Structure 1
Amino acid sequence: MAGIGFKLQKLFQEDYFSSRLKAYAFAGLVTSGPWLIVIVTIALIQWLTSYFSIVTLEERGIFNLSVSYCFIFSQVILGIQQLVVTRYVADLFYEKKFKEIFATFIGMTKFTLLIATIAWLIFIWVSPLPFVFELVIFSLFITINLIWVLFLFLSAAKFYQAVAYSFLIGATISVGLVYLISVNIDRLPSFEHASSLFLLIGFTIGMIVTLFGLLMSMLMTFPEREMKRQFNYLSYFDRFPSLFWTGFLYNIGIWVCNWVIWFGEGSSTLVDSFIYNRTYDTAIFWSYLTIIPTLIIFVVSVETRFYERYRVFYGYINEGGTLQQIKRAKASMQLVLKQEMERLFRSQGVFTLLVVVTAGYLLSSLALESTIISIFRFTTLGAFSNAMVLVITLILLYFEDRKGAMITSILFFGLNFTLSFVFLPLGYEGYGLSFAIGSSLAFLYAVIRLITFIDEVDYYAFCTPNENNSSYSRQPFSRMGQWLDEKTFL
């Protein structure tokens, strides 16, 4: 998120309530805007189909699960390259090698398309859905994967407005197309799963518009482009393997509880293609909406107070500051980080507690059954710990503690996976416990790691050697990148 601080600091310097409100709104747009736009879009589509009574409950379920599967597994695919590419692109920005950024984008896009296509082929191998339906799912899946890739590069370039506007325009088109389909459903061809297919086509077209909006923004952001060294970023898998494990295991850890519970009590299979657990999936969906305050507060606190002290501290280290200057900068940075983390824990903790206490009233107003409400209380606690794990992992990466971030992600994934199997025989009574306990234990480790690391951050800044292990000495990914760059057909 580094880079939006100038905008936020300017707004906070204006001593007006409206300016501070704009600052938090801007941070919300950056962190949660695209996510919320997609959620609202799907909700509006559900409301339209229910209002016009054009789609059966099963057809709405097929549409929901098609979209959900595309988003869930695209996030897992993104996690394979996300942090490694982010680090590589950050180094290119630092070295002012702007022409190579677009080449890296092309390389990452090709690898993402390859992995996504393999995942889709596995899906159609087990799915009996009509091939036309599977092709539409493939189009949506590829589109979402490419959106994440573009989102990564545009975020690195600080072009957040383009991201939000692209999502907003695409969402508007999706809803508009669904409305047109709703009022003209009798004129459309009728065949098996026709209603859900037309809904999926409308949503996919909107996402494609979002994709092209982001692509145009990418082309405008990087006018100087070259196609050489597209796969040079693969060398960073050798140089920073911990970044791969951190991003990959964290993204899997988010969903591993769902995957295990899909095979437990209350699980269902729709059209022999989609496995799901409606009760748990609904609870976890609403729980993740409760962590939006964490994302907003974290961005505001990091970019307006912490980052300035962080830059001063490392500025003295890199530019030869005196011992007293370094000590004062360290103390100031530690104090601000402690204050901001305490404020974040307190604010999100109070909000989470309020949601848990009022869950019965809030979710009953949405006509959700008591079982979902009971699970929701546990998953909300788990979502709180998950958000804190994410925040502390990012802070550890700020300080180049890649080992600590990797261990945090390993614990986050490992505990959630193991405890999901342990509590699975309990059925509904155990759902949510694995996510809450596993995420909380990973959160506890992350806090301890951050405290101990920050206490000796000056030692690590001066004495930690470069990451130069045996994996890097073998350089398998570096050689792969060189080989791919030499192939003209790519």
Structure 2
Amino acid sequence: MAGIGFELRRLGGRDEILGPVAAVAHAAIVAAGPWLYTVMAILVIGEAAAPVMSEEALASFRVLVVYVFSLSLVGTAPIAMVGTRVLADALYRRQYGDVRALFALTLLAGGAATLVLSALVFLVLLPTAPDVAAVGIAASQVVSMVWVGLAFCGAVRDYLQVTLAFATGLLTAVGLAVSAALVDLGPVAMMWGFAAGFVVVFLWLTASFAATFPAPCRTLAAARSAFLQRLRCSPSLAVGALAGSLSVWVDKWIIWMSGYGEPVEAGLIHAPIYDGPMFIASLTVVPALALFVTSLETTFFDRYQTYFHSIDNHATLKTIRRQAQILERETMRTLAGIMMVQTALCIIVVLTAPAIVEAVSLQFRQIGVLRMGTVGALFQYLFMSCSALLIFFDATRIYAALQVAFLASLAGLTLVFSHLEPGTLGAGYMVTCIAAGFASLLALMRVLRSIDFRVFVGSATSAQRA
């Protein structure tokens, strides 16, 4: 996502109040588009279909959506991460001829990985009916393509088109899913309608990307070579992305497989006592992610470019070190500012947890899980933002180590607390996120303070490996 944020800077710089608001809104779509899309779709579809469908059928639809998202993210993340890095390299070198080929290659590889993973789950591990397995596998493929399309469209910087794509897809999904519910076609047909909305999103994103890079795709050979070379040079990038995507879902999977798991009529397993409050807690991160895109990836990138321009222009060592100090100070200041906003939101949610639980029809014994999940989400945002910055500075080994440690710790602690009282189910997530947040912050501070060494010595070492 090198270079992302210029359009957001233009919007944020407008004098009227709608400019900054539009910038944050577009950033929220870019940072969490699929997640927001799903939240809105489930809420609207659930409200519209509730009078004509049983709660069990609606639960099957919701759980099927969750499975599709988890499988598509895990299958696509490592491939999309490497593909996006290769794209950034090509754009930096102004080599636009193979951009479409790289996009197609990443789509094919991500789709293949998701196909294998989703087929394993729906056909082998779970006793699902053929129609459920078919829609689960197909929808996972579609959502995996959206993950890739959204990642690559970060280079286009056409945030209006990204927002319009998700808005149009949302309307399509809601319309088709609600229509299926009204004529009593069941949760499987509703899921086909939901997937059709994601097809609209993908086609819109692809059209926007193709219009920006019109060079035709004649062969995948060059793109495949660049992809494999980047994978050999930075395998930790793929490892970190895989571990990071697994850590998003591993706590849910463990709780599902514990004594708290409940089957739905579609043959899938979920844990309402854990999923509901953690779902709400995860939404509290969206404002911070939007601010991260607008604030950090505009002001930070200015300082980032200034630092490297001073090197390119053969500035004195004193000037280069001064720019490095400015970059470090601006980065930490921006992170602290966003954390203050997110902390305030976290406190509000923790204090009003009983009212929130009552408003969304959860059980009062889930209040503790909601509070722990909200506190954990606060520090998970810190972990995610610091991890993103570590990638920015090409500290991929540190990034991968943090992701693997986070995954192992979260899995272990969740397994322990899954055998205890329901009110403590979120403790493993909270403790892991707090520890990981501070660990990633310390790692980022260390990288920022050694940036001169990493740029001059690390770049030479990387060039020799390549």
Match of 1:171 in 2: 170
Q: For the residues of structure 1 that align with 2:247 and 2:229, how far apart are their CA atoms? A: 26
Match of 1:463 in 2: 457
Rg (Cα) greater in structure? 1
Is 2:360 the partner of 1:366? Answer: yes
Q: Is the 8 A contact 1:76 1:251 kept in 2?
A: yes
Query: 2:161 is aligned with what amino acid?
Result: A
Match of 1:108 in 2: 106
Deviation at 1:355, TM superposition (A): 1.0
Q: For the residues of structure 2 that align with 1:61 and 1:12, how far apart are their CA atoms? A: 41
CA deviation digits over 1:296-329, x for unaligned, max 9? 1111222332211111111112331112221221
Q: For the residues of structure 1 that align with 2:166 and 2:356, how far apart are their CA atoms? A: 28
Query: 1:157 is aligned with what amino acid?
Result: V
Q: Is the 8 A contact 2:244 2:404 kept in 1?
A: yes
Match of 1:95 in 2: 93
Q: For the residues of structure 2 that align with 1:294 and 1:308, how far apart are their CA atoms? A: 20
Higher deviation after alignment, 98-107 or 286-295:
98-107
Match of 1:270 among 258, 261, 264: 264
Q: Percent identity?
A: 24
Match of 1:43 in 2: 43
CA deviation digits over 1:100-127, x for unaligned, max 9? 1111122222222222222233222344
Deviation at 1:272, TM superposition (A): 7.0
Higher deviation after alignment, 8-17 or 411-420:
8-17
Q: For the residues of structure 2 that align with 1:272 and 1:55, how far apart are their CA atoms? A: 15
Q: For the residues of structure 1 that align with 2:21 and 2:159, how far apart are their CA atoms? A: 18
Higher deviation after alignment, 204-213 or 320-329:
204-213
Match of 1:318 among 285, 290, 312: 312
Is 2:227 the partner of 1:228? Answer: no
Deviation at 1:343, TM superposition (A): 0.6
Greater than 6 Å deviation, 4+ residue runs? none
Q: For the residues of structure 2 that align with 1:382 and 1:444, how far apart are their CA atoms? A: 12
Q: For the residues of structure 2 that align with 1:445 and 1:469, how far apart are their CA atoms? A: 29
Higher deviation after alignment, 196-205 or 374-383:
196-205
Match of 1:117 in 2: 115
1:318–1:84 CA distance, 2 compared to 1 (3 A): same
Query: 1:25 is aligned with what amino acid?
Result: A
Deviation at 1:4, TM superposition (A): 3.9
1:466–1:87 CA distance, 2 compared to 1 (3 A): farther
Q: For the residues of structure 2 that align with 1:306 and 1:134, how far apart are their CA atoms? A: 45
Match of 2:161 in 1: 162
Q: For the residues of structure 1 that align with 2:166 and 2:258, how far apart are their CA atoms? A: 35
RMSD: 2.1
- Structure 2 matches for 1:269-418, cutoff 5 A? 269-271=263-265, 273-418=267-412
Match of 1:191 in 2: none
Higher deviation after alignment, 360-369 or 241-250:
360-369
Aligned with 1:10: secondary structure? helix
Q: For the residues of structure 2 that align with 1:97 and 1:314, how far apart are their CA atoms? A: 21
- Structure 2 matches for 1:78-89, cutoff 5 A? 78-89=76-87
1:203–1:10 CA distance, 2 compared to 1 (3 A): closer
Instruction: Please give the TM-score of this superposition, normalised by the length of structure 2.
Output: 0.93
Match of 2:27 in 1: 27
Aligned with 2:260: secondary structure? coil
Higher deviation after alignment, 446-455 or 223-232:
223-232
Q: Is the 8 A contact 1:150 1:214 kept in 2?
A: yes
Q: For the residues of structure 2 that align with 1:454 and 1:443, how far apart are their CA atoms? A: 17
Deviation at 1:271, TM superposition (A): 3.7
Higher deviation after alignment, 92-101 or 68-77:
92-101
Is 2:213 the partner of 1:214? Answer: no
Instruction: Please give the TM-score of this superposition, normalised by the length of structure 1.
Output: 0.89
Query: 1:69 is aligned with what amino acid?
Result: Y
Deviation at 1:242, TM superposition (A): 1.2
Q: For the residues of structure 2 that align with 1:98 and 1:2, how far apart are their CA atoms? A: 15
Query: 1:228 is aligned with what amino acid?
Result: L
Higher deviation after alignment, 459-468 or 105-114:
459-468
Higher deviation after alignment, 176-185 or 355-364:
176-185
1:64–1:182 CA distance, 2 compared to 1 (3 A): closer
Q: Is the 8 A contact 1:34 1:163 kept in 2?
A: no
Aligned with 1:96: secondary structure? coil
Query: 2:67 is aligned with what amino acid?
Result: Y
Q: For the residues of structure 2 that align with 1:68 and 1:105, how far apart are their CA atoms? A: 26
Aligned with 2:284: secondary structure? helix
How many equivalent pairs are there?
462
Tell me, which stretches of 5 or more residues in structure 1 are unaligned? 186-193, 474-490
Tell me, which stretches of 5 or more residues in structure 2 are unaligned? none
Q: Is the 8 A contact 2:276 2:362 kept in 1?
A: no
Aligned with 1:464: secondary structure? helix
Q: Is the 8 A contact 1:313 1:330 kept in 2?
A: yes
Is 2:179 the partner of 1:148? Answer: no
Q: For the residues of structure 2 that align with 1:409 and 1:174, how far apart are their CA atoms? A: 33
Deviation at 1:183, TM superposition (A): 4.2
Aligned with 2:285: secondary structure? helix
Deviation at 1:166, TM superposition (A): 1.7
Deviation at 1:351, TM superposition (A): 1.1
